[in-house]
Structure 1
Amino acid sequence: MSKIAGKTIWITGASSGIGKSLALALSSRNCNLILSARNAGALQEVKSLCGNGDNIAVLPLDLNDHEGMNEVVNKAVSHFGKVDILVNNAGISQRSLIKDTDFSVYKKLIDIDYLGTVALSKEILPHFIQNQNGHYITVTSLMGKFGSPYRSGYCGAKHALHGFFDVMRMEHEKDGINVTLVCPGFVQTNVAKNALTADGSPQEQDDVATQNGVTPEYAAQKMIAAFEKNKFEVYIGGKEIKGIYLKRFFPKLLHKVVLKSQVR
């Protein structure tokens, strides 16, 4: 992986799921890793599984702490002297109908999934500009391209990320900065269990679609291939990827297909 060798890669949401699998996959690629999430203990476990501790730093991060991003970016840069790639993977999902959902749930989804990601990405931008080099790998979702019931706030936050990072790419291509948007469908992670319900409490149960999704190891390999090729977007999943093209060419048909699927 010549384009990754020697790079410093910062992964948020690295304590489980896709972030953990990405850290494990990259740990043998001769690069430096910075692992971030809220749970420092879980991050230490991931670090121990990676095996090359000298090349891995653990940096706790809460995306809801927008004001603390300057300090956390400075710490990240101090570990290895630079950051080449920021993988914006952390976030939270939702499972509740609009009519039942408390407004505070929407605010939390925006604060974490959208504003937290924007705050971190904006704070590291001067570092990327100074180095005339940088790559944002932002994990959105297929829900950032089309919608599905029970995910209104999640879809809204993920759609917003596409708008922001498309402009980031346009404005800073001249500064050697790249942007890859990663859009997973169903992946076998705890995303459904951790999803917020109508009152803001976690769902605490899985769903069949997530259980039958692709593995996080598969998703990690697809991500690595995508940012090695500097793709603008990559779609990861099974038949749900077809929704991208139905939305573009046959939006009414997609509407019927999604409603018929009864996916929760």
Structure 2
Amino acid sequence: HNELKVLLPVLIVVAAGVYYVYNEFLLFMSNAQVRNKVVVLTDAVSGVGSELARLFHLGGARLILCGTSWDKLESLYDTLCTDADPRETFAPKLVLVDFSDPDSLEEVVVEVVDCYGYVDVLICNSSIKVKGPVQSISLDVDRNVMDINYFGPCTLAKGVLPSMMSRRGGQIVLVNSIHGKLAVPFRSSYAASKHAAQAFFDCLRAEVEEYGISVSTISHTFINSSEPLAPEPDPQHNRLKAYISSQLSHGVRPSVLAYEVLLTVNRKKKEVLLSHPLPRLALYLRSLLPPVLFSVLSAGVRDSALAENVA
């Protein structure tokens, strides 16, 4: 019994060490894969975007950073160049883009491609969220969400395809959402745009495979940038509801998602799901027992506390 008490901590430390070394090895290999590659980030000024910019910049990629704010792009540029060795990295190129203005995207595509004459990796991570009952969301808002979450990524993907096809290689990564696979109440516009984007890139994957172009989609739960809170004690009869609420409100950290994108580029994975067990279970129910899922979602709408925590 005493030997087990001593052995268990040692095993935990060893396992943690092996896991750390494994992750460092993966990061090293991922950096080797992206070195000198022309990589486009469609939203470099968001939390996830800035994490992606840091990882790919340190990996030696030739970055093209897009964003809606020139001041934020310049600030990110200064941070990246200050924190990295200029002998090992390339100064990023900056492109101002506004996906809510579809008429401007043709010029944006030309500007992006002209930076280096081609694109190796396009990472579509731009997104906007809208929450509310269907009847309270105007059609103008619906259109704006579709422009940013669907038409924007599609336009850029189509714009870089000719150079990728002529060079017979490249990769397009859609950082989507689990809402592209699972529709949840009060997310009608957002879920519709994510479903549309998922379908488009699924079709694109099959169409361009013969040209050596990889298409990857990453579906994640919501981005959680806040610090984790210590769980509050709950009465015995509320433990199940508290567990469900915590699962629904527990998102993905920007650094974790950015690292997964880097691994996806390295391994050329076709599809990645970043989710906790409960959302995964919902996906299975949607496929196998849809009436059960619909009943659960309807019950959740009636429970205001649960509805507020739906990701």
The corresponding residue for 1:235 is 273
Match of 1:227, as an amino acid? V
Candidates 8, 12, 25, aligned match of 2:42 = 12
1:188–1:210 Cα contact (<8 Å) kept: no
State the match for 2:128 in structure 1. Answer: 92
- Equivalent position of 1:193 in the other structure: none
- More relative contact order in 1 or in 2 (CA 8 Å, sep 6+)? 1
Q: How does 1:180-259 map to 2 (within 5 A)?
A: 180-189=216-225, 212-239=250-277, 240-259=279-298
Per the alignment, in what secondary structure is the counterpart of residue 131 of structure 2?
coil
Aligned to 1:3: 33
Q: Percent identity?
A: 27
Specify the code of the residue in structure 1 equivalent to 2:281.
Answer: K
Mapped contact 1:185–1:237 kept (Cα < 8 A): yes
Distance in 2 between residues matched to 1:33 and 1:75, nearest whole Å: 14
1:155 aligns with 191
Q: Which amino acid aligns with 1:15?
A: V
Give secondary structure in 1 for the equivalent of 2:210: helix
Q: When the two structures are superposed, what TM-score results if normalisation uses the length of structure 1?
A: 0.86
- Segments of 5+ residues of structure 1 without an aligned counterpart are 191-207
Partner of 1:118: 154
Q: Which moved more, 1:167-176 or 1:251-260?
A: 251-260
Contact 1:223 1:234 in 2 (8 A): no
Q: For the residues of structure 2 that align with 1:87 and 1:109, how far apart are their CA atoms? A: 19
Letter paired with 1:231: K
Q: Normalised by the size of structure 2, how large is the TM-score?
A: 0.73
| 1:73 partner SS | helix
Task: Verify the 8 A CA contact 1:185 1:241 in the aligned structure 2.
Answer: no
Whose radius of gyration is greater, 1 or 2?
A: 2
Give the residue type in structure 2 aligned to 1:28: L
Paired residue total? 248
- Aligned counterparts of 1:164 and 1:19: Cα–Cα separation in 2: 22
Displacement after TM superposition at 1:64 (Å): 2.4
1:48 aligns with 2:78: yes
Alpha-carbon distance in structure 1 between the residues aligned to 2:59 and 2:109 = 23
* Superposition deviation, residue 210 in structure 1: 8.8
State the Cα distance separating 1:31 from its structure 2 match: 1.0
Partner of 1:200: none
- Which residue identity lines up with residue 180 of structure 2 in the other structure? G
What residue ranges of structure 2 are gaps of 5+ in the alignment? 1-29, 227-245, 301-305
> Post-superposition shift, 1:6?
1.7
Q: CA deviation at 1:189?
A: 4.5
Q: Which moved more, 1:42-51 or 1:240-249?
A: 240-249
